Structures are given as structure tokens and as C-alpha cells.
Amino acid sequence: MRKKIVTTLGILLIFCICLITLYDNNKKENNLTKVSVAEVAHSIFYAPQYVAISEGFFEDFGIEIELSLANGADKVTAAVLSGDVDIGFSGSEATI
């Protein structure tokens, strides 16, 4: 009799832990700040950024990155100025 009670309480405890874990995971996903980034071209110089996005390092800090490609520095600058993106990566040709 005592063994059944201990087993039932153990299963109930495991079930409660699973529910709490699922609730916390859903809560974290909903609190992400969305940041849109435009880059002029896919480049090896942005490799650390690509790794950080794919490994979820930004999500650990509550940031969701939306990466887009804008062909040309003029299009990156226009996207930043119009408010379509928050951050734009381009070379020095954008200022010339």
C-alpha cells in the first residue's frame, strides 16, 4: 500500500515538473524582442553572426533576429531610413 502511494506521488511530481517546464519555455518564447537586420551581401565576415543566430545565442538574451538581404548599400540605407529594418550592414560605399 505504501509503495503504491509513493509511486503515485512520484509520477504526480514528475508530471508537475513537466508542466512547469513547458509553461516556462512558452513564456520565454513570447517575450522576445524582434530586431530586423539587413545586410548588403552574405559574407564570410558575418559568420559569427550566422552561428549566433543558428545556435540561439540572441534568444538567450531575449532577442529574435530577422535577417534579410538587401542587394546594394543604397537599398540597405533606404530600408534603415524608412524604418523597415532596425540595423543595416553595408560597406563604406553607403556614405560616399
Given a cut of 80, is residue 95 above it in pLDDT? no
Q: Which residues, at least 6 apart from 78, have a Cβ–Cβ distance to it below 8 Å? A: none
Residue 2 identity: R
Map out the domains of the chain as residue ranges: 1-30, 32-96
Cα separation, 15 vs 51, whole angstroms: 35
Residue pair 77/94 in contact (Cβ under 8 Å)? The answer is: yes
Q: What is the pTM of this model?
A: 0.61
CA distances from 94 to 46, 49, 81 (A): 18, 21, 12
Cα-based angle 66, 35, 93 (whole degrees, multiple of 5):
80
At 10-59, the pLDDT tens digits run 565 565 565 576 666 655 556 889 999 999 888 888 899 999 999 989 98
Total count of residues recorded for the chain: 96
